[in-house]
Structure 1
Amino acid sequence: MGRLNGKVALITGAGSGVGAACMDLFLAKGAKVVGVGRTESHLQDTLDGLEDIHASSARIVAADVSTETGVECAVQHAKDAFGSIDILVHAAGVGYSWEKQSPGSMADVVHVTPDKWSEVMRINLDAYYLLCRAIVPVMKAGGGGSIVGVTSISGFQGLSAAHAYTAAKAGMINLTRSMSVSYVRDNIRVNCIAPGFIATPMVEDVLNLFDDAQTAEQLSPMCRPGTPEEMAYGCLYLASDESTYCSGTVLVIDGGTTARQ
């Protein structure tokens, strides 16, 4: 208890998956939390699932953080609610399931059209840039902070498809490293986690792959997907003062998938 006492966290993608798990965990560890997402009903589901004792420390705001207007809305909401922002966890993004909503967005470079490429990059990479651009000055004014990006092992793996997705995740990783160098003297640490195959709505259509033992072992030596809660604990470590000598780190949480490469 109390690992984040006195901290204010802005968490994107809080309507489901890793973002929702981070919101729940960070509140339990003493933070005040503003959860951000594009769909208010999903955010409300997250809020409704919290323990009553955390309700006064939680806020939600529906905003599209892939736009400057959405980022300004989210940041201002956090400042108005709690006065500052000490922690950013950027868990919002789209993955393989986005193909259903936006056909062609997860294709290879020859078959993904320029507009689909730009769409995925805007949601998965530009949003991280826009958030950090807005929040770094707030953290500087407050004496420092911790930024945690949720990337993917696909950011350093070659895949046969989803090229815009893999490029965006790779961009997040190197932007994380670059910001860690730029803002270290401002007491701002910047790190990211790189999840493997995680049981979230993003991949729910292919979770049945783990039903086959041979396929499951290929996907992860642990033969199971990770959970959002397991990712949230990684974010908690990087957000907390337990990781004060940690910046520019990519914390891989993948059940050992990349260990054999």
Structure 2
Amino acid sequence: MIGETMSRLEGKVAIITGAGAGIGRASMERFAEEGALVVGIGRTYEKLEQTKAQLQDKGLKCHIVGGDVSTWEGASEAFDAAFKVHGRVDVLLNSAGVGYSWAKVSAGSMANVVDTPVDKWREVMAINLDSIFYMCKLAIPKMLATGGGSIINISSILAVKGLADGHTYCATKAGVENLTRSLCMAWAAQGIRANCVAPGWTATDMIQDVMHMFDDPQVAKSLSPMLRPGTALEIANGCLYLASDEASYCNGSVLTIDGGNTAG
């Protein structure tokens, strides 16, 4: 990335969900650049192959595993396959999730409570929150067996900010943050650190349809004092810090990366 070999994650095995796009894909690359042995999980294998090709073009290695981590069966199968690649897990990055773009695939999923069908509430809960429960449930015993590890869960600034719509999404992200704090309380003494990264507006496919809002300077200012969205790489760098030993005393925290959106 910056013209030299780095090793902040040298030899660590990192399992990353949502590896087929956005923050998950960027984290696959950054973790691999820093010496991690990365295994990416995603439900769309074509996108995973694109991630792998992107890393290979830069001389980096990775493994990919197809699977839907929004169900216990899917998560179990995907985790087992990912774990078998290297026989351990030192870092778990839960990046799988859906946002506003999901409404195009699943009508009503990003509506308010009244307009959200019950099955859409459960659907988004499964993808954004249940998946993290499943992956942590699977990974923590493996981490305990090898002396600990680092769990990073992708939250959102909307965990602490209300919206007129997207109610299920907001609720899932609030759940992610308090689940993470609870993980910290349960296993900190056994060497497992659990932290969140809470992105603000980030230029990924998830919000591509509303990125035009940054074209209006007044609207852009309300979204970020920096007048631009963040990049997947900028979020991945935050994940990298929490995964590394540099964050050895960082536990139960929420690292907000939002260009200043929540500062005012």
TM-score, normalization by structure 1: 0.97
Q: Does 1:202 align with 2:206?
A: yes
Partner residue of 2:47? Answer: 42
Per-residue CA deviations over 1:128-181 (Å, capped at 9, x if unaligned) read 001001110010011100000001000110111000000000000000001100
Q: Does 1:96 align with 2:124?
A: no
Q: Does 1:113 align with 2:117?
A: yes
Could you tell me how far apart the structure 1 residues matched to 2:225 and 2:161 are? 17
Partner residue of 1:15? Answer: 20
Could you tell me how far apart the structure 1 residues matched to 2:99 and 2:168 are? 10
Partner residue of 1:25? Answer: 30
Match of 1:182 among 172, 183, 186: 186
Could you tell me how far apart the structure 1 residues matched to 2:44 and 2:259 are? 30
TM-align CA RMSD: 0.8
SS of residue paired to 1:112: coil
Percent of aligned positions that are identical: 53
Runs of 4+ that moved beyond 3 A: none
**Alignment gaps of 5+ in structure 1:** none
Could you tell me how far apart the structure 2 residues matched to 1:185 and 1:143 are? 10
Bigger mean CA deviation after superposition, 66-75 or 186-195:
66-75
Q: Does 1:70 align with 2:56?
A: no
**Alignment gaps of 5+ in structure 2:** 1-5
SS of residue paired to 1:96: coil
Amino acid at match of 2:90: D
1:49 is displaced (CA, Å) by 0.7
1:111 is displaced (CA, Å) by 1.0
Q: Does 1:251 align with 2:255?
A: yes
1:4 and 1:31 in contact (8 A); partners too:
yes
Per-residue CA deviations over 1:182-236 (Å, capped at 9, x if unaligned) read 0101100000000000000000001111111111111110000000000000000
Aligned length: 258
Could you tell me how far apart the structure 1 residues matched to 2:235 and 2:180 are? 18
1:103 is displaced (CA, Å) by 0.5
1:73 is displaced (CA, Å) by 2.0
1:78 and 1:84 in contact (8 A); partners too:
no
Q: Does 1:218 align with 2:194?
A: no
Q: Does 1:231 align with 2:216?
A: no
Could you tell me how far apart the structure 2 residues matched to 1:222 and 1:103 are? 32
TM-score, normalization by structure 2: 0.96
2:41 and 2:82 in contact (8 A); partners too:
no
Partner residue of 1:83? Answer: 87
Amino acid at match of 1:124: N
Amino acid at match of 2:119: D
Amino acid at match of 2:27: C
Residues 54-65 of structure 1 mapped to structure 2, 5 A cutoff: 54-55=60-61, 58-65=62-69
Could you tell me how far apart the structure 2 residues matched to 1:95 and 1:31 are? 28
SS of residue paired to 2:196: strand
Could you tell me how far apart the structure 2 residues matched to 1:80 and 1:254 are? 36
